[in-house]
Amino acid sequence: MKTENIGKKNNVSFERAAPVHTARAADSINPSMVIPESLPNVLGQTQYIDDLPRPAGCLQAVVRLSDSAHARILAIRTEEALALDPSVRVILAKDIPGTNQIGFNKPDEPLLPEEEWVYWGQPIAIVVAATRPLARRAASLLRIESEPLPAITDPREAAARGEFIFPPRTIACGNTQEAFSRCAYVVEGRVESGGQEHVYLETQGAIAQVVDGRRVHVISSTQGPSGVQRAVAQVLGVSMNMVEVEARRLGGAFGGKEDQAANWACMAAVASWITGKPVELYLNRKDDMRATGKRHPYSSDFRIGADKDGTLLAFEADYYQNSGFCCDLSAAILARTVLHATGAYHIPNVRVTGYMCRTNLPSFTAFRGFGAPQAFFVIESAMDALAQKMGIDPVELKRRNLYKEGDRTYYGMTLERVRASEAVERLLKKVDYPSLKERIAQFNATHRLEKKGLGLIPVAFGISFTKLQMNQAGALVHIYTDGSVMVSTGAIEMGQQVARKIALIVARTLGVPVAKVTVQRTTTLTVANTVPTAASTGSDLNGMAAKIACQEIRGRLVKKAAELLHALPEEIDIKEGAILQNGSPSALTWQALIEAMHASRQDLSAHGFYATPFLEYDMRTERGRPFAYHVYGAALVEASVDTLRGTYSLDSVSVVHDIGESIDPSTDRGQIEGALAQGLGWALLEDLRFGADGRLLSDTLSTYKVPDVSFMPSSIDIEFLPPIENPTTPYNSKAVGEPPLQYGIAGYFAVLNAIRAAVGRSVAYYNLPLIPEKVSDLLASTPCTQEPMEPQRGQSFNETISKKGA
């Protein structure tokens, strides 16, 4: 196969190859040979934080949470709690041995409040006791005296008062004002997108133990062990080399344990340090929902314009991000929002501004998609509103404006290997779009109490951490003398099968059966300075690091095999554990080769390090290449609305997705389906609601609805685009965790179009999630204006409609 060298970085040569449409038989690994993590899961053999055997003398910790959104602490009375049992200890901010601060992007996040609390559900005190029920009882006996303070819960109110965590961030190109003056069509409007609860199966938790009186070992349910290590060291006042953090596996995370797992690990560590005993802290579901962050709610304004033919000329947007009480990861999340502002569309004149608005709510945090879904919903709403004004099919407007090869984005990145149009056209052909439209029109004409609608979304999703220094990873690989292989990376297994993918990469690179490979738990002792398993980069970064380590070992093995076989190194190959000479099996076995390496005192271990090449971005000019590559795709959703009841059903979803050369198709397909479910839930179902006083109203799974089997479409059809080169990832693969979540947004517009069919007029309403309550009111209301009717915090949508006189 012909290749062209396109650069070298981290001792890795990157070559441009001809498109690969099928995995080469000689290099491919049979994924069915891997025992997936899911098998021991369903057999009940895997253990999570609360399943682990407790160390001898282990105490249980609970937290006392605040019961208002903002108040000054006057006194915390502990006498009754301490009198309950001799094992009870109460730990307050003044007891923290090190620095009472775990905010690293900005020091605005104390572990425990000293003078005032700033959101409803904030941990005020740590209470430990011999048992969890005893600790919970003791926490309830704390008497807290406080003075109420004003609270802000709305991001626009925060912006009006100048309550910003960091100054606004703007990216602009061209001249939008001049471009708008040339537009034949201009529309503007407001978009509201709600938050979203992570609902990971395993809630936040940690077990901490002081070893030898000075070292600390923490088992944490975290996506970022090194971040937890740093935070624990800081609150204890010790160096990081005195703290080991271990993450065995997570029962789900979705971003909720990227930064916020550090809170609970630090509390367990502080309690263990003070008591001298092991301490477990494991939240129940209600406390987890009250105390932790969720997906950021956004309130946004847009303006978009096109010429008479529908070619986009200008776009402006202002994003008011509800950041919550502290910085957390909000800056990075807002960065991804403003870097995905135009979605999959090329627009020559752009001005987008993001505002990080500080409110008295829990610190909103990472969630699958990381700020991009909010941006996609705004641009898709703008495109929908523009198509309504032009009187054309939104699909046709989208087709005319998709990114093309060589387009330069508004932040200065020249796009390569663009597949936006390919994905959309393949999807439209797949579903026979003209016939489908006609079938929907005929159905709507003959059914009075049920209407159908279609929604389509194209996706162009950038892959890399937007904070460039985070795009690095390390791996440690050992071959033992029996020929088995162990690999340790910074990747956290949390149900997404990253360990399975890394095992496949290691097996393919070394040339051994995948059954010989074991991926060990992640710990800061074996791989240091890890980045969180997030931003869809887990397999990319850690897989490449493992591949580099394996390539180093493989080079030694090939050299030794050539020596033993009296051959040249270029004549030697290793595949599926067989040592080949000139393409034919030799007499040398894998086991004999490993024993010969060990006998000749040659290293059977290697550390691999990888940093994503070609990334650069100038924050001053807002220009550069922030992403290694983009993932493209498109989805079409068909939905039906019951016009009498105001309910809806999702009939079918068709997806065409750019997966590259899939390392494990079954895993990738599962990731697409899972992301789609979360995207549909965010768009149509999951109603995260706070009261006007800042209290979380949807704080249990009886008041917060998540997707189930009855909600999901009866038909989900996923097709992969033919693979092409992607030289900065293992074996031309592509990230899969986050891009497909955007497909769920198409469900919103499918339901909205069914509503339009029912009322017989244009409905410009962009307020997510589009729950049945809103559908019912839209069906019964007077014609909607461009500006949505937004419920007040803690007020139902029905109450809002009635007050407007609908």
The confidence score (pLDDT) of residue 338 equals: 98
Residue 326's CB is within 10 A of a number of other CB atoms, namely 23
353, 363, 396, 401, 505 from 425: Cα distances, Å: 32, 41, 11, 13, 32
pLDDT at 781: 82
Structure tokens at 720: 């992969």
Q: Does some domain include residue 163?
A: no
Single out the catalytic residue among 425, 738, 787, 790.
738
Q: What is the pLDDT of residue 620?
A: 97
Quick check: is 738 catalytic?
Answer: yes
Looking at residues 222-230, what average pLDDT do you find?
98
Q: Is pLDDT above 80 for 806?
A: no
Instruction: Return the DSSP state at 741.
Output: G
pLDDT at 788: 38
Q: Which of 5-19, 326-340, 778-792 has the highest mean pLDDT?
A: 326-340
Residue 512 has pLDDT above 50, yes or no: yes
pLDDT tier at 551 (50, 70, 90 boundaries)? Answer: very high
Tell whether the model's pLDDT for residue 3 goes beyond 80: no
> What is the percent of the chain where pLDDT is above 70?
92
Q: Which residue has the tokens 């970022």?
A: 224
Q: Which range marks the domain in which residue 225 is found? A: 51-150+204-282
Arithmetic mean of pLDDT, 291-318: 98
Closest C-alpha among 393, 301, 278, 322 to residue 788 = 301
End-to-end CA distance of the chain: 67
Whether residue 188 contacts residue 301, with contact meaning beta carbons closer than 8 Å, is answered with: yes
Parallel, antiparallel, or unpaired for β 517-519 and 485-489? parallel
Which pTM does this prediction carry?
Answer: 0.92
d(CA 232, CA 490): 18
Rounded CA-CA distance 375/662 in Å is 27
CA 595 to CA 592: how far, in whole Å? 5
Q: pLDDT tier at 37 (50, 70, 90 boundaries)?
A: low
Asked if residue 525 belongs to a domain, the reply is: yes
**78: which 2 tokens?**
């502990």
What are the CA-CA distances from residue 280 to residues 58, 137, 523 (Å)?
7, 16, 18
Tell me: pLDDT of 622 over 90.
yes
CATH number for position 242: 3.90.1170.50
For residues 675 and 267, give the distance between their C-alpha atoms in angstroms, rounded to a whole number: 32
What is the Cα–Cα distance from 460 to 452, expressed in whole angstroms?
27
Query: Which candidate, 9, 317, 171, 164, places its Cα nearest to that of 617?
Result: 171
Give the mean pLDDT of 232-253.
Answer: 97
Helix axes 538-565, 498-510, angle to 10 degrees: 20
pLDDT given at position 590: 98
Cβ count near 290 (within 10 Å)? 20
pLDDT of 40 reads 82
- At 556-615, the pLDDT tens digits run 999 999 999 999 999 999 999 999 999 999 999 999 999 999 999 999 999 999 999 999
Q: Identify whether the C-beta of residue 455 lies closer than 8 Å to the C-beta of residue 752.
A: yes
Residue that terminates a domain, selected from 282, 301, 317: 282
* pLDDT at residue 769 greater than cutoff 50: yes
**pLDDT (tens digit per residue) in 6-24:** 444 444 444 333 333 333 3
By three-state DSSP, how is residue 14 classified?
A: strand
pLDDT at 793 over 50: no
Residue 271 maps to a domain: yes
Of 553, 585, 611, the last residue of a domain is 611
Percent of the chain with pLDDT over 90: 90
pLDDT of residue 35: 52
Q: What is the mean pLDDT of the segment spanning 299-323?
A: 98
The lowest-confidence range among 312-316, 341-345, 494-498, 504-508 is: 494-498
Tokens of 466: 């937007």
Calculate Rg over the CA atoms of the chain.
28
pLDDT confidence of 36, banded at 50, 70, 90?
Answer: low
Total count of domains within the chain: 2
Mean pLDDT of 622-643: 98
DSSP states of 574-596: EETTEEEETTEEEEEEHHHHHHH
Q: Per residue in 175-221, pLDDT tens?
A: 999 999 999 999 999 999 999 999 999 999 999 999 998 899 999 99
* 174 falls within a domain: no
How many CB atoms sit inside 10 A of residue 340's CB? Answer: 27
Confidence band (pLDDT; 50, 70, 90) for 41?
Answer: confident
Place of tokens 């006996």: 141
Q: Please classify residue 108 by burial: count the beta carbons closer than 10 Å to its beta carbon, then call 0-12 exposed, 13-18 middle and 19+ buried.
A: middle
State mean pLDDT over 394-418: 98
Is residue 769 situated within a structural domain?
Answer: no
pLDDT category at 802 given cuts 50, 70, 90 is very low
For the chain, what is the largest distance between any 2 Cα atoms, rounded to a whole number of angstroms?
Answer: 91
Sequential DSSP letters for 65-132: EPSSSSEEEEEEE-HHHHHH-TT-EEE-GGG-SS-S---SSSS---SS-SSEE-STT-EEEEEEESSH
Spatial contact of 186 and 305, defined as CB atoms under 8 Å apart: yes
d(CA 501, CA 489): 12
Count CB neighbours of 322 within 10 A: 26
pLDDT at 45: 87
Q: Is residue 123 part of a domain?
A: yes
Residue 24 has a pLDDT of: 33
Q: How far is CA 321 from the centre of its chain?
A: 17
What pLDDT is attached to residue 21? Answer: 32
Does residue 266 form part of some domain?
Answer: yes
What average pLDDT does the segment 67-88 reach? Answer: 98
d(CA 387, CA 393): 6
What value does the mean pLDDT of the chain take? 93
Out of 28-42, 129-143, 337-351, least confident range? 28-42
Rounded alpha-carbon distances, angstroms, from residue 37 to 181, 494, 547, 798: 58, 10, 21, 46
Where a domain ends, among 611, 626, 655? Answer: 611
Answer whether residue 630 is part of any domain: no
Digit-coded pLDDT (tens) for 685-740: 999 999 999 999 999 999 999 999 999 999 999 999 999 999 999 999 999 999 99
- Pairwise pLDDT comparison (37 vs 210), residue with the higher score: 210
Cβ(287)–Cβ(274) under 8 Å?
no
pLDDT score, position 534: 96
Q: Is the pLDDT of residue 456 over 60?
A: yes
